[in-house]
Amino acid sequence: MSKSKPSVDLSQRFLFEKKHIRGELIRIQQTLKDLLKHHDYNPVEKRLLAQVICVACMMSSMLKVKGKFSIQLQSASNLKLLLVQVSNQEQLRALLQSDSPLETDDLLAIARGGHMLVSLYTETMRDPYQTIIPIHHHDLVGCIEHYFLQSEQLKTRLWLKDDGETFAGFLLQALPEMDEASFWDEAVMFCETVEDKELLGLPFDQLVFRLFHEQDDVRLFDATPLQFHCGCSREKMRNAVMVMPTDEVQQILEEDGQMSLRCDFCHQYYTFMADDLAEDVAGDGLGSQKLH
């Protein structure tokens, strides 16, 4: 394997072609900064959000079918919503909403009784594919490992590391074709030797080489760059207005002469004057269009 310069904000896959085990690696730094500059999250919230981003990107990368992938945490506890969306171009956006600032990332404490909704949508799908991951563990690692083992019957190990600025993930998974008496336990043992500084800073090709250079069937795929991209637009915000009750829109326009909507992901405001919506209000086109 050739050496490369250290880099961040990318994901990379590798595969043991004979042993039927796959791996996913991810590291983010600037992408997270670009995302967080629009929000006022404390260190606990930042860490939890970054962990879900890492998991979402790795799970999205494993899919044979590419589309819009998301993980959504919902509960009736303090953590009301945590949403991460990953596009098929590996562009991502995310947000977190809670009743009060989170003081712990213990999922059973902040999201008891909640769940994670995993969704995949492609242009060829009439309805998105969705699955629910119950929150039965204190941390994200436990929830994800348990889900893959119980629901997908796939042995999975997940490691998440950070230094407060850079966040990284390492996922190892046995494919259905794997022989039970295979390389799995040895591979996990090797992965357990990875130090935080290696996962956070060592180029992934060098890391994979250090761990598995004695194996002759390791295939390392090209790295995929990651970046923050909100994707909001004036047209999409106008569509949001279109699904609002007509009388509510009319009241706002009559009182203020305009209405402003803020994107929850990037906090950009979109302002519509009464004249911009006059045709829709007059024609009662509000409340009838779908929001995409």
CATH of the structural domain 10-228, one choice from 3.40.50.1980, 3.50.50.60, 3.55.30.10, 3.30.930.10: 3.55.30.10
- Please check whether residue 207 is in contact with residue 263, taking contact to mean a CB–CB distance below 8 angstroms: no
Instruction: Provide the pLDDT for residue 57.
Output: 96
Tokens 């992901």 -> residue: 265
Instruction: Provide the pLDDT for residue 284.
Output: 52
**Continuous segment of H or E residues that includes residue 53:** helix 43-62
Mean pLDDT for 263-283 is 81
Question: Is residue 10 scored above 70 in pLDDT?
Answer: yes
Q: Which of 112, 71, 130 is nearest to 95 (CA)?
A: 71
Instruction: Provide the pLDDT for residue 291.
Output: 34
Report the 10 Å Cβ neighbour count for 113: 11
Mean pLDDT for 97-106 is 96
Question: Is residue 9 scored above 80 in pLDDT?
Answer: yes
- Residue 90 confidence class, pLDDT cut points 50, 70, 90: confident
Mean pLDDT for 13-31 is 96
Helix (H, G, I), strand (E, B) or coil at 206: helix
Helix (H, G, I), strand (E, B) or coil at 234: helix
pLDDT per residue over 115-159, tens digit each?
Answer: 999 999 988 888 999 999 999 999 999 999 999 999 899 999 999
Amino acid making up residue 228: F
Where along the chain do its domains lie? Answer: 10-228, 234-282
Instruction: Provide the pLDDT for residue 247.
Output: 87
pLDDT per residue over 170-208, tens digit each?
Answer: 999 999 888 766 789 999 999 999 999 999 999 999 999
Question: Is residue 59 scored above 90 in pLDDT?
Answer: yes
**pTM (predicted TM-score):** 0.89
Instruction: Provide the pLDDT for residue 5.
Output: 46
Integer Cα distance of 178 and 217 in angstroms: 14
Mean pLDDT for 250-276 is 90
Among 43-47, 164-168, 233-237, 279-283, the minimum mean pLDDT is found in: 279-283
Question: Is residue 4 scored above 50 in pLDDT?
Answer: no
Q: Which residue has the higher pLDDT, 249 or 154?
A: 154
Instruction: Provide the pLDDT for residue 181.
Output: 61
Helix (H, G, I), strand (E, B) or coil at 166: coil
Question: Is residue 244 scored above 80 in pLDDT?
Answer: yes
CATH of the structural domain 234-282, one choice from 3.40.50.2300, 3.90.1280.10, 3.30.70.100, 3.30.230.30: 3.90.1280.10
Mean pLDDT of the residues in the chain: 90
